[in-house]
Structure 1
Amino acid sequence: MVSFVLSPDYGYTIATTVISTVLVTVLGHRVGGYRKVANVPLPNMYAEASEAKADKKKMIFNCYQRVHQNTLEGYSSYLVSLLIAGLQYPRASAALGLIWCLGRVFYSIGYTSGDPQKRMWGAWGHIGDMGLLILNGKIAFDLITSA
């Protein structure tokens, strides 16, 4: 049987998972709230392109929806990377996770401003997930070469 001891600093990593989960939840609630403003009925995921072109509220709703979907598309790999990297580098993984979260906030603010090109305000958040990927690669390399 293999066992390992978690550093108390792993709490920072877990706290970051809580923060990122709250972020994803807030983004989802923003979609629901703006759905009413834009009058996009369920079960439609997005307003039709022709409707969005004619009605700025519907276009912005599509942006809210896209921010949430885009965040969810990368969330599982971010979360796995965060939790694995945190086993060896709990403070670094938490810091990188917070960078990812802040990047997503700025991405969301920019994207939903009415000018989707402003989503690039949060592009620097990829430093977080790229950093986590590098830490995971280092852990894998160390494990493989220690055998």
Structure 2
Amino acid sequence: MTLSKFAEELPEGFGYVLLTGAGSLFINMWMAINVGKARKQYEVKYPQMYHDEPGHIFNCIQRAHQNTLEGQSAFMFLLMTSGLQYPKISAGAGTVYLASRIAYALGYYTGDPSKRRWGSFIHLAEIVLLGGTISLAFRVLKWWPYK
């Protein structure tokens, strides 16, 4: 099967899902750049992961990025699988997810870890994407009467 034939087999609107996935990579790069700047500003040398002083603002910046990386594979799995059945809804939920990651990081970057809750609306997006993935699984397994 050629690549163009494969692309024709994807659901209409799946390009939005792909763009949302690409957007997550840009957000990760933005966070990585912020960690690099903070390393320089607070003189945290490699391979040291955190500043020695607990609660230091560098640690908050580093944790925001680490936490995002920890959830990246689950997000991409849910986005891509849910997007096979509900591409536009999944891309929308993915965009909400990405906005919440930015809000989470900006809150955490203040140095007050409780402000990371600014991104707590991430869970709405996760529920939508998880529902889409489970729905696709039911459809593939023919456990539900789909057309």
TM-score for both structures, normalised by structure 1: 0.88
Give the drift of 1:8.
Answer: 3.5
Mapped to 2, the partners of 1:29 and 1:127 lie a distance apart of: 28
Mapped to 2, the partners of 1:47 and 1:114 lie a distance apart of: 13
Q: Spell out, residue by residue over 1:70-105, the C-alpha distance to the aligned partner (whole angstroms, 9 max, x if none).
A: 001110010011011111111011001001000000
Q: What secondary structure does 2:121 align onto? A: helix
Residue 97 of structure 1 corresponds to which residue in structure 2? 94
Whether 2:11 is the aligned partner of 1:7: answer yes
The correspondence of residues 1-147 of structure 1 with structure 2, limited to 5 A, is 5-48=9-52, 51-52=53-54, 59-144=56-141, 145=143
Q: What secondary structure does 1:21 align onto? A: helix
Give the drift of 1:7.
Answer: 2.4
Mapped to 1, the partners of 2:12 and 2:31 lie a distance apart of: 30
Q: What secondary structure does 2:120 align onto? A: helix
Q: What secondary structure does 2:9 align onto? A: coil
Q: Spell out, residue by residue over 1:37-76, the C-alpha distance to the aligned partner (whole angstroms, 9 max, x if none).
A: 111111101112xx245xxxxx111001000000011100
Q: What secondary structure does 2:98 align onto? A: helix
Structure 1 stretches lacking a partner, 5+ long = 54-58
Structure 2 stretches lacking a partner, 5+ long = none
Mapped to 1, the partners of 2:99 and 2:24 lie a distance apart of: 9
